[in-house]
Amino acid sequence: MEERRGLSIKGLLIRLILIIIFIFLLIWLFPMPDLKPLNNQIFSDNLDRMKDVAKSYYTVERLPKNINDSKKMTLQEMIDNKLILPLMDSNGKYCSNDDSFVEITKLEDEYVIKVYLSCSDKQDYIIEHFGCYDICSDTCKMLETTTTKEIEETRRTSLKNTTNRKTTYKPTTSRRTTYKKTTVPTKITTKPTKKVYEYEYVQNVCTEEFDKYICPTGYTLVEDSCIKDTAKTIVKDAVGKTTTVTSTDTKKADEKTIIVDENGNEVTNPGSGDTEIIGATCEVKYITSTIDATPSTTTINATKKTVTKTLTADKTTSYDVKPAVATTKTTTADYITSNSYDIITATKTATSSKWVYDYTTISTSSNLAYVKENEKLEYESSFEELECASCFTTVKKYKYYHYTKKYTYSYTCPSGYSEYNTSYCKSNTPSGSSKVCPSGYTDSNGKCTKKETYYASNACSSYGSDYKLNSSNGTCVKTSDKYSCSKGTLTNGKYCNVTEVEYSCPSGYDKTNDRTKCSATTYSCPPNTSIRTYTLNGTKCTQKLKVNVCTCPAGTTQTEDKKSCIKKKGTTTKTVYSCDSYPGYTLTDTNKCVKTTTTTKTVYSCDSYGAGYLLDEAKKTCTTTVNERDTVKATKSYRKVCHQNYMWSTKTEVDGWTYTGNKRELN
């Protein structure tokens, strides 16, 4: 048993080795075939299938119309249109539907088709040129019909000549041979006449038409001329004349009450034995002022609430714009007479003046008022106020109004001129004239013409009913709206449902930078005292101060505590006036202080230069403005106007014309 087992194992190993050797011999003797040619053939077949489908799909109506125009179709679009089935490569995988495509381009005399295929085993493309024999089926059929007719006619002529020709029979041997003349009937077949078509072509024709006149910068267009009026300023020295000027200044005299004795002499230092003390007259007064209230801030949590809002969605509008079909018409008009006029600067004269309020001045001085030629400061009123917020004494202040003098001017024109544009004068009679075309018309070959382009109601009909005419710029516009939500969910096509968390504050509180908090600011005033009381008004406190104001009768002197008056026995009081506060002033019998001043003054004028000059007293000059005119011929501006010409032709291509895609059969 053991020997048999050993022999069987050994024999098995020997057989296995022999089998392996046999396999290696087979591989060496019969190598694997090269599959690369087969793979290339599969790829080439797929390219040809795409090319054949494209050539059958791109008929005359689907070909690009203009030179260098192209049309492209992906493999996926071919599959979607049921033109071809998905293509599989040598690896058993489908080729790319999006990367693979066919593209056809129109050249001057032919078409070029490019077929690109992208698969897992290879990516490559082919280019093929083709022309009339591939796509212009109708024209080629016409050519074929013509050629067939010519061949048939030639054949008939040949048969006729053969029938009429005299035939000589020459025997080949001495034996007489009899020939029997046999006539073979000829069958003549004529192809039916093919249909002949005319093709519609369009051509864009553009011309330059007069649009308007253009002037250089700074010039104004007047009919067909450009006018520039330059204001030239002439400055001359004013003529001065010296004259004597007397001015009088009057002020209110100082008023003072003094104590006099029985002889009328002033008592300057009454002795204590000769005086008596009397009570002063006192009264309670309230003085009101305003101070800032003290602010304090209180912060609380805002009320949180979740709400769902319906908002209008964001609308994005897109426009598809195409050129409208324009219609052109030409109109004529008669020449008109264009007159030119002289324009000069009008004479400027000040006719009146008035005082105009400028601003208000507050001062503690009572003698600031003054009057000058072009300005003045005029006293308005006086009032008392506390010297400071915590003071018990008051100060008297004076209010003045400041005025400046404003002048009103008139403009006059010389004889033969009329007012034109406020400060200018225009001559009543023209300085020249010419024959010109009305505005918008062009002088062409002795007549005025105008070409107008307009757009009819059907100018967009070729694009479909979705396109609307915009006659202002000659376009057909198709409008498409798209709605979207920056947040939330789009609903009902035009709205967004948005869920938000809102925080609100109770009445009297405002939102802070932290939207979860609310704050309120309150204001308070200082506590009231026996002499000061406060009233809160918004952010201000109205302070009311209680003070005792004591006064003494005339002829007495008030004591330091303001509550008593000192009066000299046997004396009386007297009111006297003086000009001590105004040195150089003299007291008059009307209790006023007057000062008379005589000075020499140089007065300047522009009278010697004639009308039209304006005096500048500060600079001592006379100024006038003279208008200078520069006239140049306006430049004509042209615009490009295009229209379309249409024609029919039996030719399949016409230089300079574009095929519209329309054709008609010739009867």
- Structure confidence by residue, pLDDT tens digits, 163-198: 343 333 333 333 333 333 333 344 444 444 567 778
The span from the CA of 67 to the CA of 110, in Å, is 10
Q: Mean pLDDT over residues 232-251, rounded?
A: 81
- Structure confidence by residue, pLDDT tens digits, 620-636: 888 887 777 778 888 88
pLDDT at 74: 94
**Looking only at Cα atoms, what is the longest distance across the chain?**
210
pLDDT at 570: 60
Report yes or no: 324 and 469 within 8 Å, Cβ to Cβ: yes
The span from the CA of 175 to the CA of 33, in Å, is 72
pLDDT at 166: 38
pLDDT at 102 over 80: yes
Q: What is the sign of the dihedral through the CA atoms of 455, 460, 465 and 467?
A: negative
- Structure confidence by residue, pLDDT tens digits, 194-233: 677 788 888 888 888 787 888 988 888 887 888 887 777 8
- Structure confidence by residue, pLDDT tens digits, 115-132: 999 998 889 999 888 765
Pick the more confident residue, 392 or 467: 467
- Report residue 143's pLDDT band, with 50, 70 and 90 as the boundaries: very low
pLDDT at 133 over 70: no
Give the CA-trace dihedral at 150, 151, 152, 153, to 10 degrees: 50
pLDDT at 333 over 90: no
3-state DSSP call for residue 157? Answer: helix
pLDDT at 187: 41
pLDDT at 90: 83
> Percent of the chain scored above 90 by pLDDT?
8
The pTM of the full predicted model, rounded to 2 decimals, is 0.25
pLDDT at 137 over 50: no
pLDDT at 118: 93
Pick the more confident residue, 602 or 87: 87
- Structure confidence by residue, pLDDT tens digits, 290-308: 888 899 888 898 898 888 8
The span from the CA of 220 to the CA of 473, in Å, is 28
- Report residue 76's pLDDT band, with 50, 70 and 90 as the boundaries: very high
pLDDT at 96: 92
pLDDT at 100: 94
pLDDT at 141: 40
Q: Mean pLDDT over residues 435-447, rounded?
A: 84
Q: Report, in angstroms and rounded to the nearest whole number, the Rg of the chain calculated over CA atoms.
A: 58
- Structure confidence by residue, pLDDT tens digits, 418-440: 888 778 888 888 878 888 888 88
The span from the CA of 471 to the CA of 327, in Å, is 12
pLDDT at 568 over 80: no
- Report residue 95's pLDDT band, with 50, 70 and 90 as the boundaries: very high
pLDDT at 149 over 50: no
Report yes or no: 551 and 560 within 8 Å, Cβ to Cβ: no
The span from the CA of 49 to the CA of 41, in Å, is 12
